[in-house]
Structure 1
Amino acid sequence: MHAALSARINKTDRNDAMGIAQMMRVGLFKPVHVKTPASQQRRLLLTSRKLLQRKAYDIESDLRGQLRNFGLKVGVVGAAGFEQRVRDLVLDLPFVAAVVLPLLEARSALRTQLAKLHKMLLDQVRTDPVCRRLMTAPGVGPVVALTYRTCVDNPARFGRSQCVGAHYGLTLRLYQSGETMRVGRVSKCGDTMMRAALYEAALVLLTGPRVRLSSLKVWGLAVAKRRGMQKALVAVARKLAIVLHRMWRDEKDFRWSAGAAAAA
């Protein structure tokens, strides 16, 4: 809009209004989907949970790095045993303990509130028939299902299921002019949260040891063998976006192939 209006010699409110009206008249701009209030509430839950999770991880990573300066290594430890492990390490260092303990208390508070938001998320998914249907697909858990439900909001937005992958930046860039044609990397346009959730689902689908074999996983492993795992993850994420949209639109659960079910 700015580029088109800047071509006018005289910039006035009247000229701007006429220019905007003209561009709308010739179809240069299309209607934008406005998310429903329910979708905005679900997104608030997802982003708030992610914020607390990220801050808790930041504190843990900072503690690991700071303690290494004193020759103290936290090592491989789960979230439940992290605090006790750090307390044991700084037991004989009073000054370090005085600095570290407030960080542990802040982390504990973050983890407590994170657990509350995560429970709210699970409760929503448990009572949502769309999320429960999406979770029948391999690699799709509660967080991914609710993220997909929130971002797409209404499956009728997309006339074809193939458009979902392009809308969320999982298709390749293309530059074509005359005899020149260059294919680039994925566009990464659209909602980052959605794209990250699909990538995470693809990672679980291809590398998870407990994921049941399916035609989608077989196809992804074949792509990984030909093109490498990184490209296969993006390809599976794009195909998973298409499959989930079709499941939602047709109101059908994920269909496991007979051959894959027998192999499992």
Structure 2
Amino acid sequence: MKNIATIGIDLAKNIFQIHGTDSKGKTVLVKRMKRANVLNFFANMKPCVIGMEACGGSHHWARELKKLGHQPKQMPPQYVKPYVKTNKNDRNDAEAICEAVTRPNMHFVPMKTIEQQDIQAVHRCRERQVKNRTALSNQARALLLEIGIAVPKGFRYLRTMLPELVGDNESGLTPRLRELIADMYSEFVDIEARIKNYNKELEKMSQESEACRRLRQMPGFGPLSATAFVASIGDPHTFKNGRQVAAWLGLVPRQHSSGNNQRLGRISKRGNTYLRTLL
């Protein structure tokens, strides 16, 4: 236990797999444990490098392990996969993570604070409501089109035409369809109210955050894009320059070059799709 320099931990819901090596890379620890025993186990260890895949809950474990004096590092799963030997199982995954975290050129995922995750949670809930509004709008248009009523594009037409159609006895709607459209309009109003509340919450968060206030001084950054950028970027010191941030967002050209032939295509579209859409 005293000679452990690097640990790879395969995160899970209940059973965690741990693989540890010494400073020379020799395996000195292979262990499975339950979630409830993980922190107690690492609390009794000397500080070491702990690698893990970036996944659901990884930021929580990284923060907790850092409090214990360890050096947690998160990696994209696709960068860990080449180090998996033979068949895939928890034991081999933990060994691959332990090997990958020692690579000098490995790209690590910045650890998020709890405040950044709060902002991200609001964005995720808002994004879900926006998708629900779009789906509801498309369904309402399709149902009305089946009886010969074409609703123009834009949510503003739904806000005005749906209540008019429900209240007009000469609109051609059957009683059953009239009831359905009335219910859909009620749901549409409720969704828009929820989106408005999320927008207010993000506006409040952007005013409370110094990083968001600084971003909003730049052209094109509003409360949505500023808060999403701060929540997604993690620790900005992870990136050496702005070009690395652009590459992380997938805004640089895709390259397929060989020798003297330089081929640059469209943007790579890697990274955070939601943030890239806002920008």
2:213 partner amino acid:
R
Pick the structure with more strand per residue: 2
Match of 2:84 in 1: 5
What aligned pairs does 1:137-176 form with structure 2 within 5 A after superposition?
137-176=218-257
Structure 1 residue 65 displacement after superposition: 2.2
> Match of 1:34, SS?
coil
Match of 1:82 in 2: 158
What aligned pairs does 1:88-237 form with structure 2 within 5 A after superposition?
88-90=164-166, 91-92=168-169, 93=173, 94-198=175-279
* Mapped partners of 1:16, 1:64: distance in 2: 49
1:85 partner amino acid:
M
Match of 1:67 in 2: 144
> Match of 1:181, SS?
coil
Structure 1 residue 4 displacement after superposition: 3.8
Q: Do the aligned partners of residues 156 and 72 (structure 1) sit closer, same or farther apart at CA in structure 2, a change above 3 Å counting?
A: same
CA deviations 1:162-187 (Å, max 9, x no partner) are 21101110011112223443222211
* Mapped partners of 1:3, 1:151: distance in 2: 26
Structure 1 residue 39 displacement after superposition: 0.5
Q: Do the aligned partners of residues 112 and 13 (structure 1) sit closer, same or farther apart at CA in structure 2, a change above 3 Å counting?
A: closer
Q: CA RMSD, aligned part only?
A: 2.8
Match of 1:35 among 96, 112, 118: 112
Structure 1 residue 16 displacement after superposition: 6.8
Q: Is the 8 A contact 2:212 2:230 kept in 1?
A: yes
Higher relative contact order (CA 8 A, sep 6+): 1
* Mapped partners of 1:77, 1:176: distance in 2: 44
Q: Give ranges in structure 2 of 5+ residues lacking alignment.
A: 1-79
CA deviations 1:223-244 (Å, max 9, x no partner) are xxxxxxxxxxxxxxxxxxxxxx
* Mapped partners of 2:271, 2:160: distance in 1: 42
Q: Is the 8 A contact 1:165 1:171 kept in 2?
A: yes
> Match of 2:274, SS?
helix
* Mapped partners of 1:121, 1:163: distance in 2: 27
Q: Give ranges in structure 1 of 5+ residues lacking alignment.
A: 199-264
| TM-score of the superposed pair, with normalisation by structure 1 | 0.64
* Mapped partners of 1:87, 1:95: distance in 2: 15
* Mapped partners of 2:93, 2:249: distance in 1: 32
Q: Do the aligned partners of residues 30 and 83 (structure 1) sit closer, same or farther apart at CA in structure 2, a change above 3 Å counting?
A: closer
Give the aligned length: 195
| TM-score of the superposed pair, with normalisation by structure 2 | 0.61
* Mapped partners of 2:109, 2:182: distance in 1: 49
Looking at CA atoms only, which structure, 1 or 2, has the larger radius of gyration? Answer: 2
Pick the structure with more helix per residue: 1
